[in-house]
Amino acid sequence: MPLGLLKYGLRKTYPAERQIPAAQPLRPTYDVVIIGGGGHALATAYYLARDYGITNVAVLEKGYLAGGNTARNTAIIRSNYLTPEGVKFYDMSVKLYQELSQDLDYNILYSERGHFTLAHTDAALRTSRWRAEVNKHLGVNSELIFTDDVKKLCPALNCSEDVRYPILGALYHPPGSIARHDAVAWGYARGAARRGVEIHQLTEVTEILKENGRAIGVVTNRGTIHCNKLLQAVAGSSSLVSKMAGFRLPIRTIPLQACVSVPLKPFLDQIVVSGSLHVYISQSSRGELVMGGSTDPYGVYSTRSTLDFKEGLLGHMLELLPFLGDVKLARQWAGMADMTPDFSPVMGLTPLENYYIDSGWGTWGFKATPVCGLTMSYTLANNKPHELIEPFRLDRFVNFQQVGEKGAASVGH
Amino acid sequence: MSVGVNRLPAPAGGVIDRSRTIGFEFEGRHFTGYAGDTIASALAAHDEWLISRSFKYHRPRGVLTMAGQDANTLVQIGDEPNILADRRPIVEGMVVTGQNYVGSLEQDRQSWVELIGRFLPVGFYYKAFYKPKWAWKYWERYIRRTAGLGTVNLDAHHGYFDKEYVFADVAVIGGGPAGIAAALEAAKAGLEVVLVEDGARLGGSLGYARFDAEGVRGRQQLRVLAAEVEANARIRVLTEATCTGLFADNWMSVIRGNRLYKMRATSVVVATGSLEQPAVFKNNDLPGVMMGSAAQRLIHLYGVRPGRKAVVLAANSDGYGVALDLADAGVAVQAVVDLRAGEDSSAQARAVRLRQIPVYLGHGLRKTVAGPGKHHIIAAEIAAVEGEGRLSGAAATLECDLVCMSCGYSPTGQLLHHIGARFAYNRASHMFEPAVLPAHAFAAGSVNGTYDLEAVLGEGRHAGWAAAKDAGGQVGGEPARPVDKGAAGVTHPWPIFASDSGKDFVDFDEDLQVKDLVNGIADGYDHIELLKRYSTVGMGPSQGRHSAVAAVRITAKETGRDIATMSVTTQRPPYRPEKFGHLAGRVFEPERHTAMHHRHVELGGRMMLAGLWYRPAYYGKKEDRDKAIREEVIAVRNNVGLIDVSTLGGLDVRGPDAAEFLNRLYTFTYAKQPVGRSRYVLMTDQSGAIIDDGVACRFHDEHFYVTATTSGVDAVYRLMLFWNAQWRLDVDVANVTAAYAGVNLAGPKSREVLRKVCSDIDLSPEGFPYLAVRMGTVAGIPARLMRVGFVGELGYEIHVPASMGEALWDALMAAGKSEAIRPFGVEAQRVLRLEKGHIIVSQDTDGLTHPYEADMAWAIGKSKPYYMGGRSIDIQNRRGLTRKLVGFTLDDPNAPVPEECHLVVKGPEIVGRVTSAVISPSVGRVVGLAFVAPDQAEHGKTFDIKVAGGRIVQGRVVPIPFFDPENKRQEL
């Protein structure tokens, strides 16, 4: 029995601790307004307060806290990317994640499971070796392994040659982890709120106020507020919000679906991804199989679920794990993925002065949460991009300086 | 053989067949039931009520709904986990066990967790276990071990599942009174109707509920309606079929047996009824406490007496019907405990009073008292209701082994949620009811908040009529809509009586008590969606069916908000858990075989994947791989070889603008390309990155036959169609990849071989020179021939109709016998092309490589006004290269051979990578292609390659081709 829980059992009344602040009126001005109340927004608010003492901050969330992609992802954390820029960035994120429970004083249930990106073709083997080599060169633990080792390390997988897409090998990334995604957002929210940041749920920005090429405030459904700096961190709606700010993003927004099974006694300790089969799967601390696939075939601003997603996903899942035929799927849902042409994010300064952006996360937003908070808070505080996100600047698309990360996508998109 | 002490005589038990007994095993003991029994009903007949253990506290659990709606009866059958025992029919010899226990179901060694429940507050995971940091590793392992319910067998057999398409003008989901009425009405309009019923037979509540004092009306009504449906040829009835999802445009998943029906309907009527909701009080979860409707289902559907002594907790007249049913089944009804102060005026209530069953008005249950091991309840404590959720101190204890809860309902609205219906709280009925439905969807019956049976039938008829009209049927006059839905006084607004000592469960799946929700809200999670995620309320296997509304009620009260401004958490598909096997079906993974596939297999070809195709990698045993590849290379260089190239894309581009079309799509120029010649094609995307290559053969002024890579052809074809539509050129594009089979006959002796089977083409070097293309016949087969140089030898690509591919192969192999012709595979071809320095798109390029980086400026038509990607390529070229693809070799003959994707480094910096490398059989040393920094790209310069183990090997830039630098051999 951990000592931390003793007080709950021994006290007569529950020692409630308000972690998410209660609704409060909007003030007319803030130093910083953050549009969006997901993980990235809350992490940025937290580090602004913690590292720069900037606490006169309002986080504006149109729905409930962290109810967008923070609530809808499959909670996988890894840094086995392809480009040096991506690897360095996500490696920092993994390092922050590893310390996050202590840092936030809030258990995010960070769980190192080992991550396998299966290769079924020799092209996939080549990409795996490429990623492994880049990772190792930058100090990230990844290795190309072949079928025998896959079988040894992850015995649940069907490694037989007698299937449509036999497993030839895998990119094995031991630090690959999962965490309780909601807890990450709540922990940041709690930490930010304790330092004075205001969190306003059910507060939707309807207009961005500009003056002489500078952002000066926002109009919301609850009134107008002015501010010195504005950050948009609204995955799934990035293009819509940037349109209000007056500039375009090279983003296509496509639904990405996922699903979970009814809880099962743990049998799959690893995170398994197959690009050729378009599936990824891990088993959560509740015993549910958390599964996802490729993005939907067309772009649409909708989080509706489809049947064909499940049919395709489970068909492939049973290739990898044929014994799951009688296991049941409990729930499916969808999020909105902001896809960029080079599969890297768009972060940093924008054409609008005092207006900053954190967008283009595609399917990778959750794993970047801490490093986004860290680098975006630096960028806001110093009005210049943090060196880790410099390559992800918006103008790279007009300057032919893309950061080609498609090869590190878990599954085809 | 006994079928159980609780078995009631007919007419009770409408769905069981008393002529057939079935034996099965539960927890190692043998039981007998009737055909039609579920596991739970058969066990209940034998007075076995403990079926499973709960998720967190390992509480004993038993029958709750008898409708497959809860997680209290999840059991395991062999390899299949998490089965609803109150839904799964028994089968002879079935072996059933409970779940989530250590030791035995009866004596679960993990039930101690409940004792420390007070130390496990809401969100306790987030509050502890992480200090000090090392402790988490220990706790994590422990927490993980305790997770989950059923178990998976890694060797389980993959069963058979399949799929069927179903189409309907009107689909009706739910075969209760509303659904039947709707189906009959829609069929009247001359439409094809499919009626989907979850249960074993039609009827819904008509089969078990008590609509009158005598208990005859439901069954009478059912007989009439069922006969009408039976007689109606337009209605297809699917019973034991569950509609698990309603998707956009009325696309539905319906699961029945081992089949997934995928149904499209023009319009749909959702008549899925409602879910009886539990009351909250201490020990409301133990075996013996069930819904009133569950007791009625046991009696009327399965012929099982649900207990001996019962207390009915009522807040509506249905509770009185339950009391009458119990009494008729021989259960001693100790009392009807009515939460309401006023007397119920229904006929059922009057009958209860007439029978002198004690009625306690304005009373509630404080708790039930558990027997040994909490395996069953033995008594219930009642007390007067003092106010919302408050009971007076004075209490009476009534001995009982059954508590029936009849306190209200919530619409079974999941399917409506799936398609985006909006629900709103109705202050009069105290329920969240559908408020706005999407187009082409209709709701009828209690899912729509309608409870009076006449009103339900009327609403069903109206919905059937409206759906038929919507679907274009010839409808008659509009049926009247019921005025009074009969929903008042059916659902109690606050059947929640928190206990100071807890165990007052709001969510049975997740073992959540009232205080867990209250404390979660106090912690700041006061939005219902946040509370759900923080407390996990509604996240269990039954997805909040019995907890969602209570959670909203508690949240409204705790936060002082008006419940009418709130909503329940979003319901997502599926309505009920779906087996992976159902969704996967038979799993059709297309395989593409070339026309010569069988020949490769016969010759010992090791087949490899190329997109959906299979291609021979090499011919020979696995252990002889390297030797086989080497010998194939040598055969092509010295003699003659034959490779199947059928998988290469083939696109016929025809029309007056064909050349212009290619000019715009590809980097080279095609306007002046002579007829009878081929030319290299290189395609870039709009950012200038290389995406495909091949050759364009001009067979006619207005006809190009364009090849594409195996994996790229689909994208190329798509782009061609897209741009053809955009540009509106006079061009027609056909993807003929699968229409043609092709081979490359390559090697110095290829002309001799070809001559034997081709007489209508002048094969002399002058008559058919390098890069020329011809049409003719080969072995009597009409063929397209092209002289190409991919492998760097004299060679002919021969494309013939796919049906003749095998004949072509056989003819060439026979003709080449005297030249010792040898088939070669993809691996040898890769070596051969690398010796010539030819790139493979996507291996030697990546998603950002432009032609200048790949040293392919020669393939760009610089005088063209436009081609796809041209502007981007120009800009990037002007800005200067950041890397360049070069040919390289190693100075050190003993250095390890770099592998593809080993990095080219400059100290800490990554400047490029090896894209291809091999020990060349033809030049006898390592040759390869690599991206290097621009300042390393000159011939003779060296660069560092980081090979396996982190060792640095020096590469030296050399000119390409590595072999036959003057390209004389291919031009012979």
Asked if residue B633 lies in contact with residue B831, where contact means CB atoms within 8 angstroms, the answer is yes
pLDDT-wise least confident of A160-174, A350-364, B98-112, B275-289: B98-112
- Asked, for residue A123, whether it belongs to a domain, the answer is yes
Per-residue pLDDT band at B119 (split at 50, 70, 90): confident
Chain A hits for B526, Cβ within 8 Å: 20, 22
Q: Is A240 on the interface with B (CB under 8 A)?
A: no
Q: Is A400 on the interface with B (CB under 8 A)?
A: yes
Mean pLDDT, to the nearest integer, of A96-125? 96
pLDDT tens figures, B578-606? 999 999 999 888 999 999 999 999 999 99
The CA distance from B615 to A18, in Å, is 63
Taking an 8 Å cut-off on Cβ atoms, the answer to whether A20 and B525 are in contact is: yes
Residue A316, by phi and psi: left (phi above 0), alpha (psi -120 to 50) or beta?
A: alpha
Between B127, B526, B583, which is nearest A329 by CB? Answer: B583
Measured between CA atoms, the residue of chain A closest to residue B159 is A325
Chain A hits for B842, Cβ within 8 Å: 123
Q: What ipTM is given for this predicted complex?
A: 0.96
Q: Among residues B350, B283, B341, which one has the least CA distance to residue B311?
A: B283
In Å, how far is B497's CA from the nearest CA of chain A? 18
Threshold 0.90, pTM exceeds: yes
Between A267, A332, A402, which is nearest B573 by CB? Answer: A332
Measured between CA atoms, the residue of chain B closest to residue A184 is B126
Measured between CA atoms, the residue of chain A closest to residue B419 is A304
Measured between CA atoms, the residue of chain A closest to residue B146 is A265
Residue B284 scores a pLDDT above 70: yes
Taking an 8 Å cut-off on Cβ atoms, the answer to whether A325 and B579 are in contact is: yes
Measured between CA atoms, the residue of chain B closest to residue A108 is B126
Amino acid at A185: A
Per-residue pLDDT band at B115 (split at 50, 70, 90): confident
Taking an 8 Å cut-off on Cβ atoms, the answer to whether A127 and B901 are in contact is: yes
Give me the CATH number covering residue A314: 3.30.9.10
The CA distance from B439 to B448, in Å, is 16
Q: Is A159 on the interface with B (CB under 8 A)?
A: no
- Asked, for residue A107, whether it belongs to a domain, the answer is no
Helix (H) or strand (E) holding B915: strand B909-919
Chain B hits for A121, Cβ within 8 Å: 609
Chain A hits for B578, Cβ within 8 Å: 310, 328-329
Is residue A237 domain-shared with residue A351, that is, in the same domain? yes
Measured between CA atoms, the residue of chain B closest to residue A315 is B584
Chain B hits for A265, Cβ within 8 Å: 147-152
Coil vs helix vs strand at B862? coil
Residue B42 scores a pLDDT above 60: yes
Most B CBs within 10 Å, among A307, A317, A331, to test the B interface: A307
Q: Is A326 on the interface with B (CB under 8 A)?
A: yes
Taking an 8 Å cut-off on Cβ atoms, the answer to whether B147 and A318 are in contact is: no
Taking an 8 Å cut-off on Cβ atoms, the answer to whether A266 and B147 are in contact is: yes
A177: which 2 tokens?
């982890």
Chain B hits for A322, Cβ within 8 Å: 158
Q: Is A103 exposed, middle or buried (0-12, 13-18, 19+ CB in 10 A)?
A: middle
What residues have CB less than 8 Å from B949, skipping those under 6 apart?
none
Most B CBs within 10 Å, among A17, A69, A100, A107, to test the B interface: A107
CA B270 to chain centre: 23
Chain B hits for A18, Cβ within 8 Å: 522-524
Mean pLDDT, to the nearest integer, of B197-212? 96
Mean pLDDT, to the nearest integer, of B253-262? 98
- Asked, for residue A101, whether it belongs to a domain, the answer is no
Residue A261, by phi and psi: left (phi above 0), alpha (psi -120 to 50) or beta?
A: beta
Between A101, A165, A304, which is nearest B130 by CB? Answer: A101
Per-residue pLDDT band at B468 (split at 50, 70, 90): very high
B24 bridge partner residues: B31
Q: Is A232 exposed, middle or buried (0-12, 13-18, 19+ CB in 10 A)?
A: buried
Measured between CA atoms, the residue of chain B closest to residue A263 is B148
Q: Is A25 on the interface with B (CB under 8 A)?
A: no
Helix (H) or strand (E) holding B495: none
Is residue A260 domain-shared with residue A332, that is, in the same domain? yes
Is residue A404 domain-shared with residue A353, that is, in the same domain? yes
Taking an 8 Å cut-off on Cβ atoms, the answer to whether A126 and B583 are in contact is: no
Measured between CA atoms, the residue of chain A closest to residue B263 is A307
Which residue spans within B63-139 are E strands per DSSP?
Answer: 74-77, 80-84, 95-97
pLDDT of residue B120: 86
Q: Which alpha helices (H) appear in A105-146, and where do they start and end?
A: 122-137
Mean pLDDT, to the nearest integer, of B276-296? 98
Chain B hits for A156, Cβ within 8 Å: 154
Amino acid at A176: G
Coil vs helix vs strand at B216? coil
Of A296, A313, A339, the residue at which a domain comes to its end is A339
pLDDT tens figures, A231-276? 999 999 999 999 999 999 999 999 999 999 999 999 999 999 998 8
- Asked, for residue A187, whether it belongs to a domain, the answer is yes
Is residue A322 domain-shared with residue A258, that is, in the same domain? yes
In Å, how far is B342's CA from the nearest CA of chain A? 36
- Asked, for residue A366, whether it belongs to a domain, the answer is yes
Residue A134, by phi and psi: left (phi above 0), alpha (psi -120 to 50) or beta?
A: alpha
In Å, how far is A369's CA from the nearest CA of chain B? 18
Mean pLDDT, to the nearest integer, of B618-632? 97
A window 180-199, beta carbon within 8 A of B? 180, 182-183, 186-187
Of A149, A174, A199, the residue at which a domain comes to its end is A174
The CA distance from A290 to A331, in Å, is 10
Give me the CATH number covering residue A188: 3.50.50.60
In Å, how far is B667's CA from the nearest CA of chain A? 19
Is residue A49 domain-shared with residue A160, that is, in the same domain? no
Chain B hits for A64, Cβ within 8 Å: 527, 529-530
What residues have CB less than 8 Å from B642, skipping those under 6 apart?
B743, B744, B745, B746, B809, B812, B813, B816, B821, B822, B823, B824
Is residue A199 domain-shared with residue A245, that is, in the same domain? yes
**Containing domain of residue A309, as a range?**
252-339
Taking an 8 Å cut-off on Cβ atoms, the answer to whether A19 and B902 are in contact is: no
- Asked, for residue A19, whether it belongs to a domain, the answer is no
Per-residue pLDDT band at A7 (split at 50, 70, 90): confident
Is residue A120 domain-shared with residue A223, that is, in the same domain? no
Per-residue pLDDT band at A413 (split at 50, 70, 90): very low
The CA distance from B714 to B939, in Å, is 37
Measured between CA atoms, the residue of chain B closest to residue A119 is B609
Most A CBs within 10 Å, among B114, B129, B152, B514, to test the A interface: B152
Between B418, B526, B879, which is nearest A400 by CB? Answer: B879
Per-residue pLDDT band at A9 (split at 50, 70, 90): confident
Q: Is A211 exposed, middle or buried (0-12, 13-18, 19+ CB in 10 A)?
A: exposed
The CA distance from A123 to B834, in Å, is 16
* Percent of chain B surpassing pLDDT 70: 100
Cα-Cα-Cα-Cα torsion B531, B535, B541, B542, nearest 10 degrees, comes to -50
Per the structure, the count of domains in chain A is 3
Rounded to 5°, angle at Cα B854 from B853 and B855: 90
Residue A405 scores a pLDDT above 70: yes
A window 69-98, beta carbon within 8 A of B? 71, 84
Measured between CA atoms, the residue of chain B closest to residue A101 is B130
- Asked, for residue A128, whether it belongs to a domain, the answer is yes
Between A9, A307, A323, which is nearest B245 by CB? Answer: A307
Measured between CA atoms, the residue of chain A closest to residue B253 is A307
A window 264-303, beta carbon within 8 A of B? 264-267, 284-287
Q: What is the mean pLDDT of chain B?
A: 96
B809: which 2 tokens?
């192969």
b/e map of B366-403 (b: 16 or more CB within 10 Å)? bbbbbeeebbbbbbbbbbbbeeebebeeebeebebbbb
- Asked, for residue A87, whether it belongs to a domain, the answer is no
Is residue A323 domain-shared with residue A397, that is, in the same domain? no
Chain A hits for B876, Cβ within 8 Å: 400
Is residue A240 domain-shared with residue A354, that is, in the same domain? yes
B216: which 2 tokens?
């005859």
Of A289, A305, A339, the residue at which a domain comes to its end is A339
Taking an 8 Å cut-off on Cβ atoms, the answer to whether B527 and A323 are in contact is: no
Residue A412 scores a pLDDT above 80: no
Q: Among residues A340, A410, A337, A369, which one has the least CA distance to residue A92?
A: A369
Chain A hits for B124, Cβ within 8 Å: 5, 8
pLDDT of residue A1: 63
Chain B hits for A155, Cβ within 8 Å: 154
pLDDT of residue A411: 56
Is residue A60 domain-shared with residue A187, that is, in the same domain? yes
Is residue A265 domain-shared with residue A319, that is, in the same domain? yes
Is residue A347 domain-shared with residue A334, that is, in the same domain? no
Taking an 8 Å cut-off on Cβ atoms, the answer to whether A311 and B55 are in contact is: no
